[in-house]
Structure 1
């Protein structure tokens, strides 16, 4: 298997850039509207009239909430009207934005209602929205120019200057100021906000891009808003493994610095530098598909573009403060070079593994056995010959740039990116008949003989039927093209959210055999915890709330010379029960010598989290040394509770001191330099 990150970055980006053009070519309907026209709807503030579809209030922050929606109910709540439908709300209240707080299985329908009523801004926060639901949503978004979507799977959007909050961000962390922030991760964005608040900079506008594989708003969208926003003087970007949005942002930043006489300083962080190949790291979109860059490639691209990179979000505040104070002295030079000389850039010894095509069983997804995948193909009357020699690689998957399904076709069975074509197409209205232009284009790219064209059309149609009927997100086959097109082997991945949040695809889900998976990972999953046992001689156990923060914790400890035994995301919460389950799983690993608990208290206060940690330790009678870093709401009280608990717990405020202590106790200090 060719390692994708060994492919030149230029060829990889060229492949991705061609996606949108190819999609337009193979779309079955002409586009008369441009979704990009909705970008200005992201500039929320005191003027924004917000409709809540399933609302919890942000009134204390100053958000101008005009009411909520509960289907079939026309009443009031807390002095605000509750409308029976989005249409009725639009007619009677004229909202500028709608906040959607319904569960993942209802999110797409709520978004579609808002699009139909041309609500200017729609913010969807739910996790576990099925991928195919979002593909349908994006099919709608591309045909209109009135509604802008933020999310799904995001904390929302908040204007600290304009006092408008559409989401569930922890308000005590925010203060009006001049830094624009866009992030995939909720917990990392809160850490970033807290850092800029402590530095006295505050925030202007904070956009949660979210961890969904198909977000409605991406980094470039946010950067365009920050460029023109008079309230924003500095920009922070927080990315992670999975997708190509960070590479697109790097290209934009490079162009911005070139064309602007006085560009605003930009800082960035990438989570997931040390994620194992082929794993989903908590967020639905935190996985690397064939043809996508590794997190380290994203880091390097942003650095080359001129962004100042850090390895932990608590460094953003002082770093940006220094950038802004020295801006007039170094205008027109690369900020990265300037700060490398001053030690802000702290990246060390990063030697992550390289991601090729997906390799191992992934959490929150379902890969069936190859024989089961081949049986699905046989049911579609697709020729299968397991004895054939593989000549080509073909995949039907999602394109995160085009926000649509796409075909990847490679003349190398090992998926050589330089020999691969990417062909996005419309989700709705596609039927791969023999005369479909995409069939001819893929056949030409693969250099198929005329005798194989009919079988290629049959294969694409069969894959497309499986993709839609069973809600797959990646279908890979390797095939022989001698005389005719025959499939030798197959690897199919299906969206677990379709079953877990919506109760669909039970037949596919029943193909899963937990007995063949890692026992600890299956046990953690039962409590909503994402646990991944890392290979090697790791001696540091990690317990973190939030996928992005969990990835960054592993990265930062590794950069400090530590070796982590696991990735663990409690799912954005850290209750007594989740802490107990997490500790039980972590301590079952005999490699672990010390545990690092890294918690950011957002909506859940740090004192409540501290109480849960203390109770869990008392019940489990822990003796292993544990470092606890608590930041966020009521952090002082939470830290005091840990420090005075009388338990084998050491409490820390800053990450650097905690990381150094953890590495020292793990016996890995010699690896630091």
Structure 2
């Protein structure tokens, strides 16, 4: 991919005094391009763009970053499949690629090629500029593939999307959108290779603040005449699945013949406080666990399964019986042959909730995520004191400690102030959930308004009802919000107490978005202040190799797992646990695993002396089964493996991969049925 594509200047909103009206104008000091620079009256709304998701054989598609390796591969596959790709964009260049025109801007592409959709195939640090250009050009459907786009870039983009009604965003960190009936795909999803017969597949994506959420996707599928059943796949992180459950419950109550809905939630066995592969796959402050999401979906009438292999037969049964969901959980159905037709398979994403929805605090370690860069309490106090007039110091034991934080409300797709009137019970026990957390979202460009300050002051139950306490709270919020903007905060958490009519910070832990570092533009001063937590050596090594590896606890955790894709890796850990086994690790090789990454993964897994068997679970789209098989054999020979290896390969070139394993004459166990493979891995782990 050309490194010159979409070089992107970072833009920040100004933070003014909360006493005055917040500025509406976006400051863009290093870029000549400006988008939505004034608060103009809305003409329509972002919700009006939902019909743009209904792609079909007539949908005209362009690719941004067209000549890059990934875009080229996807364009070739899509053209062969029947997608009407009409050209692409490379900034500042004209010419041809794959026999199609290349234009220097999206605006020119809109004028000459008249596309209905654009697929963005550029690196994460270039993607915000590419998305903005597509919004400015009013492309109806924008699909962003890149992962690890800095969260403040996405917050800013969402503030743009909310002011217009011409463009709909899918992603980022999305496998794309596919209409199997209409023969149109924008990006690639491995589900098209699994024989599930989709009508429309919407890859909501694993970003913290995706452009299209689950409820929006469900509302489209409800009215899609080609869709007869729906498969909803979710995971930890965000409130989307709870919002989807509420929507489904209402849908079942009002529809005479509702479409059956199957659900899967990954991450029941998550490692608390860790990111499970995806950029947004972690439980943020106040968000529900995977078990809570499963319970909500079951209560709504959704039939739950614990692995993608079970979706096909479960949906087929529902379609044959003409039934909707029963609110049960399937634990024993065999691998799906996937011959049913007309199904939706869409990925996870946050939903919507009211601006002041009550949440609960779960494990107090769960918001200390590794996608963040942390400052310790003394560094936090130094940052606060440097801003003048801020009272900071250790807790004296007097006064009620309250939670005050500035972070992200995934459902509102905006920054938010998070507050709780007491944190005492939460601090005493990690499993207690009695401290309610309330979210007060605010516009990224404007900041919190006076009404929000008054409401959260009331919710905090300040004993001093006078103006001095509210003024003090206002100063603290202004300081935290300013820091949130300037340093690209992810979650700035503090504990506050009332002392002598003033509010004092008695604890602080600040997390800043690590994606900013990954993309080469660290916020001023934060890099020098970064305090790295003690890590497992194997986890550090894996990260350097582009592999996500998390060591799971328990002396009885004896099954090493090697999986491509974060969602599938979580599902694998969960399904092994349901079958009576226990995974020693979570390992995601990434969606494009190679022979070298497979070998490296084996080396990392086998550093754990608990591992008695390695379970390889590959469900391939871009990842080819034959390539994975060669990687396994290479690892087996070069590493002189002494533990048995169970291999399950499905997807692209699965037959070739299985044959390579079978012909290797090595002590490998090859299966295409997940449950049979899992049972064998569990059996071997007990020897």
| TM superposition score category, shorter chain reference | 0.7 to 0.9
**Residue pair 1:26, 1:424 contacting (<8 A) in 2 also:** no
**Residue pair 2:297, 2:327 contacting (<8 A) in 1 also:** no
Query: What pairs with 1:16-55 in structure 2 (closer than 5 Å)?
Result: 31-55=42-66
1:142 aligns with 2:162: yes
Deviates further, 622-631 or 580-589: 580-589
Query: What pairs with 1:479-490 in structure 2 (closer than 5 Å)?
Result: 479-483=496-500, 484-490=502-508
1:251 aligns with 2:246: yes
Match of 1:583 in 2: 602
Q: CA deviation at 1:128?
A: 1.1
| Secondary structure of residue in 1 paired with 2:676 | helix
Superposed CA offset, 1:615-668 (max 9, x none): 122111111111111111010110111122122321111110111111111119
Superposed CA offset, 1:475-528 (max 9, x none): 110011122111111111111111102432374234445572222211111001
Q: CA separation in 1, counterparts of 2:183 and 2:601? A: 37
Query: Alignment partner for residue 630 of structure 1, among 642, 649, 658?
Result: 649
Match of 1:286 in 2: 281
**Residue pair 2:283, 2:367 contacting (<8 A) in 1 also:** no
1:365 aligns with 2:372: yes
| Secondary structure of residue in 1 paired with 2:126 | helix
Match of 2:34 in 1: none
Match of 2:544 in 1: 526
Q: CA deviation at 1:594?
A: 1.1
1:445 aligns with 2:459: yes
Match of 1:469 in 2: 486
Q: CA separation in 2, counterparts of 1:437 and 1:502? A: 38
**Residue pair 1:278, 1:359 contacting (<8 A) in 2 also:** yes
1:412 aligns with 2:422: yes
1:80 aligns with 2:107: no
Deviates further, 595-604 or 409-418: 409-418
Q: CA separation in 2, counterparts of 1:430 and 1:595? A: 50
Q: CA separation in 2, counterparts of 1:513 and 1:387? A: 23
In the alignment of these two chains, the number of paired residues is: 603
Superposed CA offset, 1:561-598 (max 9, x none): 11111111112232232222221221111111111111
Match of 1:182 in 2: none
Deviates further, 529-538 or 207-216: 529-538
Q: CA separation in 1, counterparts of 2:368 and 2:597? A: 23
Q: CA deviation at 1:431?
A: 6.8
Match of 1:277 in 2: 272
Q: CA separation in 2, counterparts of 1:666 and 1:105? A: 43
Q: CA separation in 2, counterparts of 1:149 and 1:227? A: 20
Q: CA deviation at 1:52?
A: 1.1
Q: CA separation in 1, counterparts of 2:334 and 2:301? A: 12
Q: CA separation in 1, counterparts of 2:520 and 2:149? A: 8
Query: What pairs with 1:161-310 in structure 2 (closer than 5 Å)?
Result: 161-170=181-190, 174=192, 194=194, 196=196, 202-310=197-305
Q: CA deviation at 1:326?
A: 0.7
Match of 2:663 in 1: 644
Q: Mark the CA change 1:232 to 1:27 in structure 2 (over 3 Å): closer, same or farther.
A: farther
1:398 aligns with 2:408: yes
Q: Mark the CA change 1:624 to 1:65 in structure 2 (over 3 Å): closer, same or farther.
A: same
1:318 aligns with 2:313: yes
Q: CA deviation at 1:421?
A: 2.7
Q: CA deviation at 1:256?
A: 0.7
Q: CA deviation at 1:558?
A: 0.6
Q: CA deviation at 1:403?
A: 0.3
| Secondary structure of residue in 2 paired with 1:315 | helix
Q: CA separation in 1, counterparts of 2:215 and 2:383? A: 39
Match of 2:135 in 1: 115
| Secondary structure of residue in 2 paired with 1:447 | coil
Match of 1:554 in 2: 573
Q: CA separation in 2, counterparts of 1:420 and 1:625? A: 47
Q: CA deviation at 1:230?
A: 0.7
Q: CA separation in 2, counterparts of 1:336 and 1:438? A: 38
| Secondary structure of residue in 2 paired with 1:335 | coil
Q: CA separation in 1, counterparts of 2:208 and 2:183? A: 29
Superposed CA offset, 1:313-372 (max 9, x none): 111111111111110xx5xx75346x87x96599xxxxxxx9434447533322232222
| Secondary structure of residue in 2 paired with 1:491 | strand
Query: Alignment partner for residue 496 of structure 1, among 505, 514, 530?
Result: 514
Query: Alignment partner for residue 471 of structure 2, among 450, 454, 472?
Result: 454
Q: Mark the CA change 1:27 to 1:403 in structure 2 (over 3 Å): closer, same or farther.
A: farther
**Residue pair 2:487, 2:524 contacting (<8 A) in 1 also:** no
Q: CA deviation at 1:373?
A: 2.1
Match of 1:376 in 2: 383
Superposed CA offset, 1:443-463 (max 9, x none): 222233233223212211111
Q: CA RMSD in A?
A: 2.3
Query: Alignment partner for residue 430 of structure 1, among 401, 425, 447?
Result: 447
Q: CA deviation at 1:437?
A: 2.9
**Residue pair 1:124, 1:154 contacting (<8 A) in 2 also:** yes
Q: CA separation in 2, counterparts of 1:572 and 1:335? A: 33
Q: Mark the CA change 1:443 to 1:362 in structure 2 (over 3 Å): closer, same or farther.
A: closer
**Residue pair 2:283, 2:366 contacting (<8 A) in 1 also:** no
Q: CA deviation at 1:211?
A: 0.3
- The structure with the largest helix share of the pair is 1
**Residue pair 2:298, 2:304 contacting (<8 A) in 1 also:** yes
Superposed CA offset, 1:233-275 (max 9, x none): 1100000001000001101110111100000111010000110
Q: CA separation in 2, counterparts of 1:443 and 1:45? A: 50
Q: CA separation in 1, counterparts of 2:514 and 2:321? A: 49
| Secondary structure of residue in 2 paired with 1:149 | strand
Q: Mark the CA change 1:421 to 1:363 in structure 2 (over 3 Å): closer, same or farther.
A: closer
TM-score normalised per structure 2: 0.84
1:543 aligns with 2:562: yes
| Secondary structure of residue in 2 paired with 1:459 | helix
Q: CA separation in 1, counterparts of 2:623 and 2:448? A: 49
**Residue pair 1:195, 1:313 contacting (<8 A) in 2 also:** no
Q: Mark the CA change 1:217 to 1:48 in structure 2 (over 3 Å): closer, same or farther.
A: same
Q: Mark the CA change 1:152 to 1:361 in structure 2 (over 3 Å): closer, same or farther.
A: same
Match of 1:385 in 2: 393
TM-score normalised per structure 1: 0.86
| Secondary structure of residue in 1 paired with 2:160 | helix
Q: CA separation in 2, counterparts of 1:79 and 1:514? A: 49
Q: CA separation in 1, counterparts of 2:604 and 2:531? A: 20
Q: CA separation in 1, counterparts of 2:382 and 2:413? A: 29
